[in-house]
Structure 1
Amino acid sequence: MISTQYNDVKQPKIIVISSVSPQPTSAGQVVLYRHLNQVDGWAVSIVPNPDDSKTYKWPTKFIKRLKYTRFHRWSHDLEVIDYGSNWDSVMLNYFQKPFNCQTDDKTIVLTVAHGDGCWAAQKFAQRYQLPLVSIFHDWWPDIPSVHQPLRQVLKKRFQQLYQQSNLALCVSQGMKNALGSHPNSTVLFPIPAMLKEELTVRNQIANNEFLSPLRVIYSGNLYEYGAILAQLLQVTKENPKVHVQVRGSNPNWPADFRSEMRDRGLWLDFAPREELNQWLAAADVFLVTMSFDPALRRRMETSFPSKLTEYAQFGKPLVIWGPDYCSAIHWGRKGDRALCVTDKNPLVMVSALEKLKNSPEQQKCYAQQAKITALTEFKPHIIQNQFLERIENLLCTAQK
């Protein structure tokens, strides 16, 4: 289990200083949790996020309060200017004795390049001359709502964090390419959950040949991807060949459309993990969406949907819907591992799904590709071993 307190155990240590904390929830939090919950032989210590305790100094309190006013954009500007200093008092209280890089020479600092915790991790690693491991899951400079001059500051810091990291773990090849050359960077896909065998061996074609509609399932973000999924649901809600069902909270839809989709059973809310797995296992096809919004192009080029690694574990065909420049489409086209649709017109997607419905051989082919991927580059044990080997090699190099 993950420790949350620094100690003097004579094991190599990972000190986690990150706004993205390891928790068994979703997205980057659960990815970090899965990695750190399986690091045998390492002592893991997590510095508490000051946002959790809300014990801020008055300047930070002022910044936080601005978020709930019409000056909310300025609050994000001030957070950039603050440069993670709101972590200082937490760090001081957490390390009750002066940190000694001579006696703690088997220690690395781990962070996720998201939020202001990564700046605190960067400064701590520099101060005590410790190896810094940074995970790059999102293009953070494009996410906060800040004015353009501050966005340029964020971009510069983001690049500096990458260059000053002793090990950079990039979520996709697109992220690695965008960040540039680095002496020790590598691609590390989001680690999926390990499933029970009975969930992964179900019949790959469960649509009773041509009698039942193709059951297409999507689970996850219904806010950013809500609009395009609403269009798909609208054109398939009475389609006898294709049945699309989505699961997620707070869809970005009008109230009347929400009600209709709920009444039709096409929109379901989040469920406990066991129930969710049973629902996913009953799918014929999994749908992964990426945004066509030109303003989000860099994020689509660099991010990698964790749903891809999760869905592949079920051994069902993967369908990726997104622009041709996004990382997921690049992955799917390599070796024809997934059905890729790069036209944002939902009717084009419906046509592709109907063709897939009428081709059991194509379904079997894509299902086999998902199985192979789940046993190779998306296998949880392989991804975890890559993570451990990289940080162990870094520690060995640092000790020489």
Structure 2
Amino acid sequence: MFSIPLVILVPSAYGRMLLRLANTVKERSDIHLQIFAAGNDWPLEKVKEMTEAGIYKGFKPFEQLKSDFQQADAFLTVMSFEKAEEPFMKTSFTTKWLDYVPYGKPVFVWAPDYSTAYQFAHQHRAGIAVSEDDPVALVKAMIDAASNLETWQAACGGARKAAETVLNAEKIHTLFVDRVNHVCRQSQDTPNIDDLKELAR
């Protein structure tokens, strides 16, 4: 059995997705889904049901989540399939990847194929992506991966490589600082607006 701690702030679209997934795995003995969230849009009876089932864990500060990360076998990141959310899914990036990949464990991606998450997973081989809006398809991908040592090890390797390269926190920080400094230097080199007006006369 493997457990998947899902650490995410849950907006309404994601909340509905995760509830569908929770309902799908609730009676399974081969997947232990754990959802950590600051809030949800579930009916109160579902919150109670999933809490009692050990699936919904509520909010936990990030520092406390690190022990859960260490004990988990895999991680899950999601992006909405709702049509109204499509522009956002094409331009936003799920930053949970930055938290997950340092642990060198498979990252499952449940997202439409046009989303940045899905495309990133394929481009960098940094996740096992499922683009069907169906929790059963996601569960099948999890079970198939867990049953195939080569697939599992490749996913672990992809996470480790991403942590060392494209999602390396220190490199991202350095790049950010360099870009900010570059913008600041450019602004200092820009001629004074009054000088530009004088030249335009």
TM-score by length of 1: 0.46
Gaps of 5+ in 2: 190-201
Amino acid at match of 1:295: A
Partner of 2:160: 371
Match status 1:295 vs 2:84: yes
Match status 1:222 vs 2:15: no
**Alpha-carbon displacement from aligned partner over 1:136-174 (angstroms, at most 9, x marks no partner):** xxxxxxxxxxxxxxxxxxxxxxxxxxxxxxxxxxxxxxx
Match status 1:235 vs 2:24: yes
Amino acid at match of 1:352: A
Amino acid at match of 1:344: D
Partner of 1:386: 175
**Alpha-carbon displacement from aligned partner over 1:37-69 (angstroms, at most 9, x marks no partner):** xxxxxxxxxxxxxxxxxxxxxxxxxxxxxxxxx
Partner of 1:33: none
Partner of 2:102: 313
CA contact (8 A) 1:223 1:251 kept: yes
Normalized per residue, the structure richer in helix is 2
**Where does 1:80-91 land on structure 2 (aligned, <5 Å)?**
none
Partner of 2:192: none
Q: Matched residue of 1:334: which SS?
A: helix
Structure 1 CA distance for aligned equivalents of residues 183 and 61 of structure 2: 38
Structure 2 CA distance for aligned equivalents of residues 303 and 288 of structure 1: 13
**CA spacing shift, 1:231–1:387, aligned 2, 3 Å:** same
Amino acid at match of 1:231: R
Post-superposition offset of 1:256:
1.2
Amino acid at match of 1:253: W
**Alignment root-mean-square deviation, CA:** 1.3
Amino acid at match of 1:272: P
Post-superposition offset of 1:272:
2.7
Q: Matched residue of 1:253: which SS?
A: coil
**Alpha-carbon displacement from aligned partner over 1:247-289 (angstroms, at most 9, x marks no partner):** 1132211111111111111111111332111112211111000
**Alpha-carbon displacement from aligned partner over 1:65-92 (angstroms, at most 9, x marks no partner):** xxxxxxxxxxxxxxxxxxxxxxxxxxxx
**Alpha-carbon displacement from aligned partner over 1:174-220 (angstroms, at most 9, x marks no partner):** xxxxxxxxxxxxxxxxxxxxxxxxxxxxxxxxxxxxxxx12112111
Match status 1:360 vs 2:149: yes
Post-superposition offset of 1:394:
2.4
CA contact (8 A) 1:241 1:357 kept: no
**CA spacing shift, 1:273–1:359, aligned 2, 3 Å:** same
Post-superposition offset of 1:243:
1.6
Post-superposition offset of 1:397:
3.0
Partner of 1:345: 134
Post-superposition offset of 1:314:
1.5
**CA spacing shift, 1:259–1:376, aligned 2, 3 Å:** same
**Where does 1:247-258 land on structure 2 (aligned, <5 Å)?**
247-258=36-47
CA contact (8 A) 2:124 2:162 kept: no
Match status 1:274 vs 2:59: no
Gaps of 5+ in 1: 1-212
Partner of 1:37: none
CA contact (8 A) 1:317 1:370 kept: yes
Q: Matched residue of 1:288: which SS?
A: strand
Match status 1:245 vs 2:34: yes
**Alpha-carbon displacement from aligned partner over 1:285-342 (angstroms, at most 9, x marks no partner):** 1100000000110000000011112111221111110111101101001143210000
Match status 1:324 vs 2:113: yes
Partner of 1:152: none
Amino acid at match of 1:252: D
CA contact (8 A) 2:39 2:59 kept: no
Structure 1 CA distance for aligned equivalents of residues 177 and 100 of structure 2: 24
**CA spacing shift, 1:264–1:290, aligned 2, 3 Å:** same
Larger C-alpha radius of gyration, 1 or 2? 1
Structure 2 CA distance for aligned equivalents of residues 233 and 367 of structure 1: 24
Post-superposition offset of 1:361:
2.1
Q: Matched residue of 2:103: which SS?
A: coil
Amino acid at match of 1:226: G
Partner of 1:286: 75
Amino acid at match of 1:222: V
